[in-house]
Structure 1
Amino acid sequence: MKRNRIWLWAGIGLSIVILYSFMQLSVHIGKPMSEEQKTAASYVKSLGYKIVSHSSKPITYTLEKSLLAPGNGAIPYIQTWSVQSQDPTNYYGKEIVTYRFKVSGHPLDRMYNTNTALFVMMSEGKVIGGTSFPDRNDLAGAPYSIDGKTLEEITGNSFGEWREQWAEKYGN
């Protein structure tokens, strides 16, 4: 009798855990995209990547020159804008909204044997660029361009040459 109760409570506990997991999954999957996020998703698909999942919460900031100045601690902004084809000065004072997608079919998938996280940047409802990075928690470093290219591949310069040019252009 006592043994049956233990199995009953274990079964109820397991059922609750499974039910909770499905509820969390359905909340994430069922979250509708905003119109702007749909535009970003269409852009991702136009690049030939398959969207595996998406984050419903965008990253938003206003781009100011100070975010791009070397030595001010805003390394993520510098790294992001260093692999864009757009000139960041065109977006000073504008809101930048970034949407995250987990995709498959990206060149980084093969290199890192995992899906790729794409970050699509938008301003005033239009796609202006983005970055990519392997979807793994054990990696750190600078992002790749949205199509998986390094800073050196995009600029044609070594990191040192690029850093000097960046400091000249965006330094205080």
Structure 2
Amino acid sequence: MALFLFAFFYLAGCSEKEELSENAKIAKNFLTNRGYEVIEHEKDGSHNFSKSDMKSIFVRQVWAVQDKGPDEYGNQRIDTVSFFIKNHPLDNEYDMGRTYATVWLIDGKVFGGWSYPISKNNDISGAPYSLNGKTADEIKTDYQKWVEDWQDKYGR
């Protein structure tokens, strides 16, 4: 009987640990449908990008790897779901075999996100990549012009 109770509570604890939000399920399916293996769910969050946020270098870099700009989404709340994944082009950038990815959703629909390689000592810096591992230079036809236009519109 004790063994049964132990097994029951152990399995109940495991299934509770695996419970994903609805957005996380959608984001996970999005990633797996593109051939990535989801290793671990890191976190859920949300963000409303204000005009002052647009002055941040990181915010600019994240939007640089999206297909569309922030004006396409008005002042809507963007839900974010982050995972550690495998089978991604950035997996072996630092010989770690996995990548960090954040998926963006509005009203339960994926519209973008970003990815970043992982290093052993977590000592890397630089701009994020698109969800499929492309740089802003690869996504924007003229990245320098895009940055200038961004700064003219949102400030430095």
Task: Please indicate, yes or no, whether the TM-score normalized by the shorter chain is above 0.5.
Answer: yes
> What is the deviation of 1:164?
0.9
Code of the aligned partner of 1:46: N
Which position in structure 1 is the counterpart of 2:129? 144
Report deviation, 1:152: 0.5
Tell me which residue corresponds to 1:130. 113
Q: C-alpha distance in 2, partners of 1:105/1:28?
A: 25
- The total of aligned residue pairs comes to 142
Conserved 8 A contact 1:29-1:53 = no
The percent identity for this pair of structures is: 37
- TM-score normalised by structure 2 residue count: 0.81
Structure-1 residue corresponding to 2:150: 166
* Letter in structure 2 aligned against 1:112: Y
- Separation of aligned partners in 2, 1:113 and 1:92: 39
For structure 1, list consecutive stretches of 5 or more residues without a partner in the other structure. Answer: 1-22
- 2:48 aligns with 62
CA pair 27-61 structure 1, distance change in 2 beyond 3 A: farther
Higher relative contact order (CA 8 A, sep 6+): 2
1:19-168 equivalence runs, <5 A? 30-55=17-42, 57-68=43-54, 70=55, 74-114=56-96, 115-136=98-119, 137-158=122-143, 160-168=144-152
Q: Distance in 1 between matches of 2:152 and 2:115?
A: 26
Q: CA deviation at 1:29?
A: 8.4
TM-score by length of 1: 0.74
Flag structure 2 segments of 5+ consecutive residues without an equivalent. 1-9
Structure 1 match to 2:3: none
Q: 1:46 to 1:165 in 2, by over 3 A?
A: same
Distance 1:28 1:149, change over 3 A: farther
Larger-Rg structure:
1
Greater percentage in helix:
1
